[in-house]
């Protein structure tokens, strides 16, 4: 692949200049200036403290510029047309695929573009469904499910990695089972015997969007492989915050989304091991994914095009390419260390706020800087409102994960989640703000 044809604004992440900071707590990274939105104020002139990265991340100037440049100079439909800008657009689109593939340690033709991670997971479940319905020929028979089969998920899942499997089970007659969570909010590895000889697929999260717990992926993959089950990983929270290598993890399929990793909305990614994608029947059908179409039937292209029906989100893939370049520029190890530091500050701060219970691991090992918590006697909506009044943006509700909230005995929670641009000052402001919440409702 050629390098991208557009000239993007070089916005390399800056390391913090130690000498200029008189603040008590030092940060490994000071990146907020790269993110235009973070300079705005909210609620009557208050500086924005953005702690809702787990829901969606802000985008650096380099990502915004990459999309703008593409639209201004290279916009054309991809994989068709013989003109110059069609070639440029196709090159940019495929270069983005290679860039993202490299970022997660896989080959370019193992990356499928989707609208978001939810669609990526539905692509997999519908692949199983269509195979069960007899589509995809003998190759696809490996995905056929019967009422003797079991699908295993976990109690920790986001609804996006639970509901599609419920639907698949309901449609095929396969039985849905799940691995419970521990009191600490981790997938309970003592209960991997839920995975049996009947298990055909194990779908689980790499890192919880509620508890922040990072899963011991190799343990689950090992157990799944013992029984010959496929593994499907929800990498939405992990891909944006820690080094991720799907080949090394040995996972079969994985899904993540652009907008959670400093990229645009409207683009998600499915990783599928090469031989598995080759055997998987398509989900969405139509233009761009076909070889020969007659009035009676159609043959489909090989992966990844087989799974990319219709006009693609080209500018967004280019934006996502800029985002992974930006993240690589920081270094995912460096970013992870920065966020570990922030997680530690959050947990320490929260432990001193009266009536606060963290829903998740209270130590900063093997967890992200994603911390959901309950404030005794104060509803999350009210917590979020008082924080918002101080310019602090957090998430309230069940964060699309009702079962894990139920496991903790609550219906909803407040969640603070950090990103590359978050600083220790943000965390201090948040903790101070939370003390005010408790005083307000005392």
Could you give the residue numbers annotated as active site? 400
- 397 forms part of the interface with another protein (CB under 8 A): yes
* Member of 396, 404, 420, 431 binding another protein (CB under 8 A): 396
Residue with tokens 């010959």, as numbered in its chain:
228
- 382 forms part of the interface with another protein (CB under 8 A): yes
Q: In angstroms, give the least distance from the CB of 381 to another protein.
A: 4
Provide φ and ψ at 194, rounded to 5°. Answer: -65, -30
- 385 forms part of the interface with another protein (CB under 8 A): yes
* Member of 381, 404, 416, 430 binding another protein (CB under 8 A): 381
- 386 forms part of the interface with another protein (CB under 8 A): yes
* Member of 405, 417, 431, 438 binding another protein (CB under 8 A): 405
Burial of residue 417 (number of CB atoms within 10 Å: 0-12, 13-18, 19+): buried
- 107 forms part of the interface with another protein (CB under 8 A): no
Q: Which stretch binds another protein (CB under 8 A): 94-102, 120-128, 207-215, 385-393?
A: 385-393
* Member of 402, 425, 428, 435 binding another protein (CB under 8 A): 402
- 440 forms part of the interface with another protein (CB under 8 A): yes
- 398 forms part of the interface with another protein (CB under 8 A): yes
* Member of 389, 393, 425, 428 binding another protein (CB under 8 A): 389
Q: How far apart are CA 199 and CA 195, in angstroms?
A: 6
Nearer Cβ to another protein (6/396): 396
Q: In angstroms, give the least distance from the CB of 213 to another protein.
A: 21
Q: Which stretch binds another protein (CB under 8 A): 221-229, 293-301, 356-364, 379-387?
A: 379-387
Q: In angstroms, give the least distance from the CB of 405 to another protein.
A: 7
Nearer Cβ to another protein (33/385): 385
- 412 forms part of the interface with another protein (CB under 8 A): yes
Q: In angstroms, give the least distance from the CB of 398 to another protein.
A: 5
Bridge partners, residue 378, by sequence: 375
Nearer Cβ to another protein (282/380): 380
Tokens of 274: 């090469």
Nearer Cβ to another protein (82/442): 442
- How many positions of this chain bind another protein (CB under 8 A)? 16
Nearer Cβ to another protein (248/440): 440
Interface contacts to another protein, rule CB under 8 A: 379-382, 385-386, 389, 396-398, 402, 405, 411-412, 440-441
């Amino acid at each position: 692949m050629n390098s991208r044809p557009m000239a993007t604004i070089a916005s390399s992440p800056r390391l913090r200049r130690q000498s200029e900071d008189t603040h008590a707590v030092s940060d490994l990274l000071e990146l907020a200036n790269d993110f235009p939105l973070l300079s705005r104020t909210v609620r009557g002139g208050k500086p924005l403290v953005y702690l809702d990265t787990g829901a969606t991340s802000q985008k650096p100037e380099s990502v915004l510029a990459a999309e703008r440049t593409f639209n201004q100079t290279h916009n054309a439909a991809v994989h068709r047309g013989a003109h110059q800008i069609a070639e440029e657009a196709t090159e940019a689109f495929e270069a983005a695929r290679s860039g993202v593939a490299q970022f997660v340690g896989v080959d370019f033709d193992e990356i499928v573009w989707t609208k978001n991670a939810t669609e990526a997971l539905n692509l997999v479940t519908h692949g199983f469904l269509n195979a069960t319905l007899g589509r995809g020929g003998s190759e696809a028979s490996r995905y056929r499910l019967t009422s003797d089969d079991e699908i295993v998920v976990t109690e920790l899942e986001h609804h996006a990695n639970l509901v599609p499997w419920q639907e698949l089970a309901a449609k095929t007659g396969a039985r849905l089972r799940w691995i419970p969570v521990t009191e600490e909010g981790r997938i309970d590895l003592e209960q991997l015997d839920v995975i049996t000889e009947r298990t055909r697929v194990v779908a689980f999260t790499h890192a919880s969007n509620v508890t922040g717990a990072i899963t011991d992926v190799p343990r689950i993959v090992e157990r799944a492989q013992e029984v010959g089950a496929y593994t499907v990983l929800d990498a939405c929270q992990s891909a944006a915050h820690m080094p991720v290598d799907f080949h090394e993890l040995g996972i079969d399929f994985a899904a993540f989304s652009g907008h959670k990793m400093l990229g645009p909305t409207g683009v998600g990614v499915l990783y599928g091991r090469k031989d598995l994608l080759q055997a998987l029947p398509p989900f969405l059908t139509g233009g761009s994914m076909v070889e020969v179409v007659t009035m009676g039937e159609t043959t489909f292209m090989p992966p990844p095009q087989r799974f990319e029906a219709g006009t693609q989100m080209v500018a967004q893939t280019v934006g996502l390419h800029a985002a992974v370049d930006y993240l690589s520029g920081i270094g995912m190890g460096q970013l992870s260390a920065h966020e570990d530091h922030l997680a530690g500050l959050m947990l320490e701060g929260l432990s001193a706020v009266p009536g606060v219970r963290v829903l998740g691991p209270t130590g900063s090992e093997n967890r992200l800087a994603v911390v959901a918590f309950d404030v005794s006697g104060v509803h999350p909506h009210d917590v979020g409102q008082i924080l918002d009044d101080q310019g602090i943006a957090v998430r309230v509700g069940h964060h699309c994960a009702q079962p894990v909230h139920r496991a903790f005995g609550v219906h909803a929670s407040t969640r603070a989640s950090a990103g590359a641009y978050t600083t220790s000052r943000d965390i201090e402001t948040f903790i101070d703000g939370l003390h005010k919440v408790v005083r307000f409702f005392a």
